[in-house]
Structure 1
């Protein structure tokens, strides 16, 4: 048996040391070489080491006839090792990239199954890392993309770990052969129409022939770039700290930044900070699409520009940047009277409103601003609602969805705006919760 194969268990254990106190280790088990070796290694280590509970999960994509037999194979392997297996069948959405669609479907299941303090283990190795670097380089990726696959990242409520990134495929093959393991050979892995397969079968062998250490060197470059990305992240956090000031509309519950500190940075630092801030909110734009940020940033001071991204919109209003997604992008519709003002009223695509204190005499209704509304203030007489909203610097995207309380044609209150939200003498106020309590933002 190869010394490298003998050393593999101790290397794996060392790579997983900081997660030994996790509640559960679940192996993403495709049945291929990588995950088969990972599963066997962990099941074997569990005999002599105190490890978290082990289980495996197999995703059946249903994309090819041969795959119908794979759940049975995976079940047999897990039964022999005494590891529980969960088989999940998914529907892959058709689209331009079948690879990406399959990955999205797979990781949706992984996210749902990975609970708090759980670890999901995947079998990507050093050769995969080199392919990833080359693939992303050819697509024009930046530092973050070229840093390759991270050893760990959040998934669901837990953490995804890739403990074999310092192991070559050749080492995995030697281990599998030494332990007489059998694994699935996915026929689609030979289809060179897929970009990764083309790189694996056509490009990487030619590179290795000329530069035998090509994959090791590429993996090392990815590690250097991860360090560089770490420094860029630290810089972004410093810049965002300057822009993350408190404001009068915290109750909106929206991600928001003050524009001025960002606009004073160089263009490269602006993009770096924005990438860091947007990453958990949306798929990031490519280089050409960043012109939308320039347009938003340099628009006239009285404008309310919008930058539309893959999963939402970035608005500029009242000197701030606001991230809008989900119901915030839908036009709210309201109809009918507020029949029971003593109870909260749910607003389609706009949260809910409620009255505190003794409700004014009715009949009452909730409506949205149409233009031309006038409100009577005890100390100021009649005032245009538009001017009142301007005085309070209400963001433009909020104005059309602020709930207004009417009695007949009389505007009684504007939700959540101090001085406009109720009657101080009678002690009632109109409160708006922009999103339902069980409805998170993207």
Structure 2
């Protein structure tokens, strides 16, 4: 099968996409892929095709690459979008540049759009080796999937089973020109060390090593799929939220059925559950989960992760993104127009039935407040919060309506007859 036919077959499932975008670096791989797509569309109708070149500005020679990409796309009559990004100097420039590129790509992708990238079989082998040497688990050793979600669309790698030698042969046959990134020769970059030193040595002993490593990645991807299926089954038995807290838009799991699973299934479930919101912890960091799980019932432990915390409260574990820590009760004072109040870093408060009462204000709990439930009666606010099972991390930001020093309404929990105080707290965004 020719290279053209291989790409045509790999892209068959995505022919109904609204648009195809191609990540064009100007290097050999992406240049060959763009040229192939330009040839395919001459023979058959394809989705609208646009190339995207992201300029990182990390090296002087790269300043010429946008012009090269512009000329290359013009010759193929393919629209090109140029974007520049600024990379903060840090220890891992490769990873920072990669994140910046994909943030740009996500901005282009709408629903049913596809981003095509040009990673090939050699890249897959490097990725597997790199992650293996870092002690990755099954998910990491699955390396780069052929297709995965990206933004509102999908990322597809149609060359992932193709050897680089095939791409070179195609480029020479078609007389293509491309740019060479000088950093690809730097052996202080781990991937380059694997590419130029480790893999050639392995190939001298095992000529089909790249194919074998790529197959291993496929086996790992299949195994990860089975682990995800198991996680979904386990999740069905532990995904719950106290009925009184149905209004709280934070993910939670019931602790007891989760803790009854084997430790391996606990970790598998939590990896799956946490994956949409945070970088997953390495093996050494799982002690934080044990601390949350096994803490005494009167404790309020938390497990700190990269983008948020896992907290234990009211017989459940909760995911709290770091955005929840931005809240401050200091910014709220007396409010006269009580209909809908935009709370600072704390969602929206809808007020009904209090419009005629100007002697009220919205505030937050400081401690020791009493809830007025009749002309002569009141009781400690803490009693209502305990009875309602409000987690400790929610209580400081629960909006209250005060009349004088007494609380007359508690958002989502209690208000006088004919009145309502509805709070829509911030979620995960």
TM-score by length of 1: 0.94
* Offset at residue 326 of structure 1 (A): 4.3
For the pair 1:381 / 2:377, whether they are aligned, the reply is: yes
Match of 1:410 in 2: 406
Match of 1:143 in 2: 138
Match of 2:234 in 1: 239
- Give, in whole Å, the separation in 1 of the partners of 2:428 and 2:185: 41
- Give, in whole Å, the separation in 2 of the partners of 1:287 and 1:380: 58
Match of 1:336 in 2: 333
Residue 251 of structure 1: SS of its match in structure 2? coil
* Offset at residue 385 of structure 1 (A): 1.0
1:55-111: CA deviation from partner (whole Å, max 9, x where unpaired)? 100000000000000000001110000100001000112222000000011110011
* Offset at residue 358 of structure 1 (A): 4.3
Match of 2:168 in 1: 173
Match of 2:65 in 1: 70
Is residue 147–residue 156 contact of structure 2 (8 Å, CA) maintained in 1? yes
Match of 1:225 in 2: 220
Match of 2:290 in 1: 294
RMSD: 1.4
Match of 2:148 in 1: 153
For the pair 1:19 / 2:14, whether they are aligned, the reply is: yes
Residue 204 of structure 2: SS of its match in structure 1? helix
Off by >3 Å, runs of 4+ in structure 1: 378-381
For the pair 1:368 / 2:359, whether they are aligned, the reply is: no
- Give, in whole Å, the separation in 2 of the partners of 1:409 and 1:107: 52
Which residue, 390, 398, 419 being the options, matches 1:428? 419
Match of 2:109 in 1: 114
* Offset at residue 41 of structure 1 (A): 0.4
- Give, in whole Å, the separation in 1 of the partners of 2:152 and 2:224: 24
Is residue 416–residue 431 contact of structure 1 (8 Å, CA) maintained in 2? yes
Residue 423 of structure 1: SS of its match in structure 2? coil
TM-score by length of 2: 0.97
Is residue 333–residue 363 contact of structure 2 (8 Å, CA) maintained in 1? no
For the pair 1:209 / 2:200, whether they are aligned, the reply is: no
* Offset at residue 112 of structure 1 (A): 0.8
Residue 149 of structure 1: SS of its match in structure 2? coil
- Give, in whole Å, the separation in 2 of the partners of 1:401 and 1:212: 62
Is residue 129–residue 149 contact of structure 1 (8 Å, CA) maintained in 2? yes
- Give, in whole Å, the separation in 1 of the partners of 2:279 and 2:106: 17
Is residue 337–residue 363 contact of structure 1 (8 Å, CA) maintained in 2? no
Is residue 326–residue 441 contact of structure 1 (8 Å, CA) maintained in 2? no
Aligned length: 427
- Give, in whole Å, the separation in 1 of the partners of 2:322 and 2:220: 34
- Give, in whole Å, the separation in 2 of the partners of 1:165 and 1:362: 67
1:207-237: CA deviation from partner (whole Å, max 9, x where unpaired)? 0011111111011111111110000000000
For the pair 1:194 / 2:189, whether they are aligned, the reply is: yes
Match of 1:127 in 2: 122
Shift in CA distance, 358/127, structure 1 to aligned 2, threshold 3 Å: same
Is residue 362–residue 407 contact of structure 1 (8 Å, CA) maintained in 2? no
For the pair 1:272 / 2:268, whether they are aligned, the reply is: yes
- Give, in whole Å, the separation in 1 of the partners of 2:87 and 2:277: 23
1:320-374: CA deviation from partner (whole Å, max 9, x where unpaired)? 1111114312232233201211x31222111121211243623211111111111
Match of 2:319 in 1: 323
Is residue 327–residue 350 contact of structure 1 (8 Å, CA) maintained in 2? no
Residue 235 of structure 1: SS of its match in structure 2? helix
1:1-49: CA deviation from partner (whole Å, max 9, x where unpaired)? xxx6xx1111111111110000111110001011001000000000001
* Pairing of 1:43-122 with structure 2 (within 5 A): 43-122=38-117
* Offset at residue 410 of structure 1 (A): 1.7
Is residue 358–residue 428 contact of structure 1 (8 Å, CA) maintained in 2? yes
- Give, in whole Å, the separation in 1 of the partners of 2:70 and 2:290: 54
- Give, in whole Å, the separation in 2 of the partners of 1:252 and 1:31: 48
Is residue 59–residue 87 contact of structure 1 (8 Å, CA) maintained in 2? yes
